[in-house]
Structure 1
């Protein structure tokens, strides 16, 4: 259902009769959109007043398909400035997202709508966990890309226990589906050249299991994407600490993994 917003020409609010989840909501917005560029803002967050004007001006000035910027991670008592890297090509940015050196979130990026339309790119309806990996498909087909070194987006994170929470079975199903889906799509688009970077993505997807501090999660880490484990020490885009932790898990040193997860949870609570 579409409802026109009074006083704002060409502005509408779309509603679903039942809750279909975030990816389906994004797809409905894409179907309704008629503008040159697409921007996503999540309901719990907010943006600086000049965000869209600045990103759009840069996109038009440099004829860019995608523009991205820095962002602010806001906790209950403090916040962090999250600086993003700059790249000359969309392919370099894509590889960085797969490696974990650049965030693939949808909400700090302005994207030319034509990319969605021409390549029939939609979000994975019904699979919300990790759905913003879809952004990597857009980079896989983009031409000119631009980075704006300023934080416009405020990502609100009030649940500081989230890093240590167990995923529900549904969360695991959704995440596995989306990692498999995006991996197949990217290998199909970029060929074997992206095989190592896709393995980095798989390692990143299962990394949170090592922070949960229980044998069930450790078992899941071992079961997910064992073929990617041989690349653990090759990803220099993530910290040596994270590589060491994954290497310990690969070698079944789960006592060390458990000790680290306890220390991690304590430090996270104290800092944030």
Structure 2
């Protein structure tokens, strides 16, 4: 059967969240979809929970796959397993601890078909215990060329998150694109490569995805030496790809990309993290003021780091991140 959309859902330690995720996928208003759950050898009850939920939706059962890895391979490999078996015209990635608005896939697909687009992306919510923060991805235009969208991805105007984008499956398969096996942190940088091969991309100004901030076991909540190596690997691989496609024409945006990648190191109270910011890609620091996508606040903390005024960075973290955002979004 030829589906309109294949939804790929990796699962690892998401038993507290996956029931809601599964229900919202199974209740999608769009009928012609398949849902592919990838159990990455999770030690919890994630697969069992999905199987129980699925019993409540008998009409969906023939269109749902639950694939189990015999060993834990990591998030990129789980996504790749889903891509191998996906038969839809388009692919959508949804993480097992997040959830979608029930009309999300239909709206994204209709936008893709109406505009003859290879990719459609939308806004999303950062979802906390008691409230949510709307995250706009407005690029200033409803439709973009491939080159323009890659520039905005590198500059940070559009986030390269994998989970708010509907992508034509042929972009992955025709160009042999996949996620970086064994390098999980920063694996969604692979989306930049996907955008590079698109002919037309479209923005849908609606928040349809809920990125849940409650899973303390989430992969992105932890940072180890291996994770840092993974980030560096994915950054360097992405830059190599960009230069192979565009030559030196994208070099300024490559510098913006480096700055965006290391900016989170400054959202911390850890001096070692500040030092890491200084050590990573120092050649990009000259481009802080040149990036029009940086807010004044982002420019301020980077220039503060350059001057090694780490006490200001700590004060910023406690006043803005812990107090302001900590009180409003919790």
Q: In the alignment, is residue 239 of structure 1 matched against residue 291 of structure 2?
A: no
Q: In the alignment, is residue 193 of structure 1 matched against residue 249 of structure 2?
A: yes
CA distance in 2, matches of 1:123, 1:267: 36
Q: In the alignment, is residue 93 of structure 1 matched against residue 140 of structure 2?
A: no
- The change in CA–CA distance for 1:159 and 1:9 in structure 2 (over 3 A counts) is closer
- The change in CA–CA distance for 1:166 and 1:220 in structure 2 (over 3 A counts) is farther
Task: Flag the structure with more relative contact order, 1 or 2, with Cα contacts below 8 A and sequence separation at least 6.
Answer: 1
Aligned residue runs from structure 1 range 65-214, under 5 A: 65-85=118-138, 86=141, 87-158=143-214, 167-214=223-270
Question: Could you report, residue by residue, the CA deviation over 1:31-88 in whole angstroms, capped at 9, with x for unpaired residues?
Answer: 1112111110000111111111121122122221001111121111111122221442
Higher helix proportion, which one? 1
CA distance in 1, matches of 2:131, 2:89: 36
Q: 2:283 maps to which residue?
A: 227
Question: Could you report, residue by residue, the CA deviation over 1:99-157 in whole angstroms, capped at 9, with x for unpaired residues?
Answer: 11111111111100111011111001111111111111111110011111212111111
- Regions of 4+ moved over 3 Å: 1-11
Q: Structure 2 unaligned segments of length 5 or more: list them.
A: 1-37, 40-46
CA distance in 2, matches of 1:189, 1:139: 12
Higher mean C-alpha deviation, range 256-265 or range 214-223: 256-265
Task: Say what the alpha-carbon RMSD is for the aligned residues.
Answer: 2.3
Higher mean C-alpha deviation, range 1-10 or range 145-154: 1-10
Q: 2:66 maps to which residue?
A: 13
Corresponding residue pairs, total = 269
Secondary structure of residue in 1 paired with 2:289: helix
The TM-score with structure 2 as length reference comes to 0.76
- Does the 8 A contact of 2:97 with 2:215 survive in 1? no
Q: 2:90 maps to which residue?
A: 37
The TM-score with structure 1 as length reference comes to 0.91
CA distance in 2, matches of 1:233, 1:166: 31
Q: 1:271 maps to which residue?
A: 328
Q: In the alignment, is residue 22 of structure 1 matched against residue 75 of structure 2?
A: yes
Q: In the alignment, is residue 262 of structure 1 matched against residue 322 of structure 2?
A: no
- Does the 8 A contact of 1:166 with 1:212 survive in 2? no
Higher mean C-alpha deviation, range 171-180 or range 37-46: 171-180
Q: Structure 1 residue 226: deviation in Å?
A: 0.7
Q: Structure 1 unaligned segments of length 5 or more: list them.
A: none
CA distance in 1, matches of 2:261, 2:144: 26
CA distance in 2, matches of 1:258, 1:159: 25
